[in-house]
Amino acid sequence: MRVAVVGAGYVGLVSGACFADFGHDVCCIDLDQSKIDALMAGRIPIFEPGLQEIVANNVRLGRLTFATEIAPAVRAADAVFIAVGTPSRRGDGFADLTYVRDAARDIAGAIEGYTVVVTKSTVPVGTGDEVERIIRDLRPDAEFSVVSNPEFLREGAAISDFKRPDRIIVGREDERAEAVMREIYRPLYLNQAPLLFTSRRTAELTKYAANAFLAVKITFINEIADLCEQVGANVQEIARGIGLDNRIGSKFLHAGPGYGGSCFPKDTLALTKTAQDNGISLRIVEAASQVNEQRKRTIARKVIKACGGSVRGMTIALLGLTFKPNTDDMRDAPSLSIIAALQDAGAKVRAYDPEGTDQARPLVDDVHFAQDPYDCAEGADALVIVTEWDAFRALDLERLKQTMRTPVLVDLRNIYDGAEVAQQGFAYESIRPVAPT
Ligand code: NAD
């Protein structure tokens, strides 16, 4: 199949590279000249484990190309995937569909022969109808179908998620489009990945329902963690105790500083807006959004408490800035709220992240970026683990103690054993207080 992917970001580039790996002939298009220049020069503009190899391999085999000009690739394509951003619209939090509409107009100008236009971006229910209207208005002669195929990959594990998905959801309104989508995903289907065909609106809403459910699950365990703290119970043991129940499942039950990233915050907000527009209130999702927003900032109080009630004039060292490990994505990362809260409380902030520094730099002021965890800890009054990169799981505590002004470790991801850390002479604070015996 000949495939064009519009938008070569986290989703577009991974999808394009994986489709090429399946044997399809793929062109990834992006408006951002610097991104395309980098890709053409063999550089990957984002950090995603395994992506470099798969891109290089498929470029070498001639199955993957890049362009800034949309028309040639769309003209030749059997299917065009829209994978542009759908950020929160400033002011009301609804999904900003500007990039999707622009992409639809660009595609309309170039369609030749029967083409399936696939929305892979996360878009509010009814957007497929709008994309269809835009193309139909501009090109009444065009032969095309509009399909919704939301993406469920996770940054940091994007390649394996794309190649071994729990399911593939395709929302289509006609059989011709279904046949093209079956052909595109045939290699995965042969691997038994469930390919679920639904109506277009159902597929669009399935994506939001999935993200909202996961956001609620994280928020739920975070609130249980707060209660644990008050009553002397252990939230990790509770997570295990409930997660072993198959009806609940163990994933997304790790208490922490609140969810961030490019999807959950904006998608929960967009979903509640869609519901409100339709006279429905999704109170559980609304509550999760609000609780999470607050938590990202209030979690800084843990640091302040660990430092004796005030951080004024102190130096706080943060390990991990990205919203989760194995990505360089800083969008809506909890670290941003934590940094702001600590600076508001009078602290100086030092930070280290294995991959996120370049993306973090323009988003924060007055932060000293360190070269490694030990450089970061130098002269600090507290070291705070914000993101659980593997590189932070076995730190040399003795070495840290020598370089810090005060040996205080605040572990917002519960990756250390409090008793062991205390034995090394550290004051230790986490989201898992040890229950009194
Ligand atoms: P991104 O910002 O990394 O990439 C979007 C790309 O689209 C950018 O490179 C931008 O330059 C390009 N672009 C915008 N308008 C264009 C146009 N008219 N023509 C060509 N290129 C254009 O975004 P992302 O993280 O890949 O997300 C894309 C969509 O996928 C969003 O709707 C998001 O919600 C959804 N999604 C993201 C993830 C994730 O983990 N990042 C997972 C699932 C779904």
Q: What is the pLDDT of residues 16-65, one digit of tens each?
A: 999 999 999 999 999 999 999 999 999 999 999 999 999 999 999 999 99
Dihedral over Cα of 150, 152, 156, 160: its sign: negative
What are the structural domains, with CATH classification, of the chain?
Answer: 2-198 (3.40.50.720), 208-296 (1.10.1040.10), 299-430 (3.40.50.720)
Between the CA of 86 and the centroid of ligand 1 the distance, in Å, is: 7
Between the CA of 291 and the centroid of ligand 1 the distance, in Å, is: 27
Separation of alpha carbons 143 and 102, rounded Å: 19
Separation of alpha carbons 367 and 259, rounded Å: 22
Q: What is the pLDDT of residues 227-261, one digit of tens each?
A: 999 999 999 999 999 999 999 999 999 999 999 99
Between the CA of 100 and the centroid of ligand 1 the distance, in Å, is: 10
Q: What is the pLDDT of residue 236?
A: 94
253 is in an annotated binding site: yes
Q: What is the pLDDT of residue 91?
A: 85
**What is the pLDDT confidence band of residue 432, given thresholds at 50, 70 and 90?**
confident
Helices 235-243, 200-231: crossing angle, 10 deg rounding: 140
pLDDT at residue 191 greater than cutoff 80: no
Q: What is the pLDDT of residue 192?
A: 81
pTM, whole model, 2 decimals?
0.95
Calculate the average pLDDT of the chain: 96
Pick the residue whose CA is nearest to atom 22 on ligand 1: 7
Q: Which of 18, 228, 263, 376 is catalytic?
A: 263
Pick the residue whose CA is nearest to atom 44 on ligand 1: 151
The ipTM of this complex is: 0.99
Average pLDDT over residues 88-111: 95
Q: Which residue has the higher pLDDT, 250 or 436?
A: 250
pLDDT at residue 133 greater than cutoff 90: yes
Q: What is the pLDDT of residue 189?
A: 78
pLDDT at residue 163 greater than cutoff 70: yes
Probe target for ligand 1 pocket from 13, 152, 262, with the most ligand atoms within 8 Å of CB: 262
Between the CA of 102 and the centroid of ligand 1 the distance, in Å, is: 13
Between the CA of 263 and the centroid of ligand 1 the distance, in Å, is: 11
98 is in an annotated binding site: no
Residue 156 near ligand 1, beta carbon < 6 Å: no
Probe target for ligand 1 pocket from 6, 11, 68, 86, with the most ligand atoms within 8 Å of CB: 11
207 is in an annotated binding site: yes
Q: What is the pLDDT of residue 193?
A: 86
Q: Is 18 an active-site residue? A: no
| Three-class DSSP labels, the chain | CEEEEECCCHHHHHHHHHHHHCCCEEEEECCCHHHHHHHHCCCCCCCCCCHHHHHHHHHHCCCEEEECCCHHHHHHCCEEEECCCCCECCCCCCECCHHHHHHHHHHHHHCCCCEEEEECCCCCCCHHHHHHHHHHHHCCCCCEEEEECCCCCCCCCHHHHHHCCCCEEEECCCHHHHHHHHHHCHHHHHCCCCEEEECHHHHHHHHHHHHHHHHHHHHHHHHHHHHHHHHCCCHHHHHHHHHCCCCCCCCCCCCCCCCCCCCHHHHHHHHHHHHHHCCCCCHHHHHHHHHHHHHHHHCHHHHHHHCCCCCCCCEEEEECCCCCCCCCCCCCCHHHHHHHHHHHCCCEEEEECCCCHHHHHHHCCCEEECCCHHHHHCCCCEEEECCCCHHHCCCCHHHHHHHCCCCEEEECCCCCCHHHHHHCCCEEEECCCCCCC
35 is in an annotated binding site: yes
Residue 212 near ligand 1, beta carbon < 6 Å: no
pLDDT at residue 295 greater than cutoff 50: yes
323 is in an annotated binding site: no
Q: What is the pLDDT of residue 366?
A: 97
pLDDT at residue 434 greater than cutoff 70: no
Average pLDDT over residues 2-19: 98
**What is the pLDDT confidence band of residue 435, given thresholds at 50, 70 and 90?**
very low
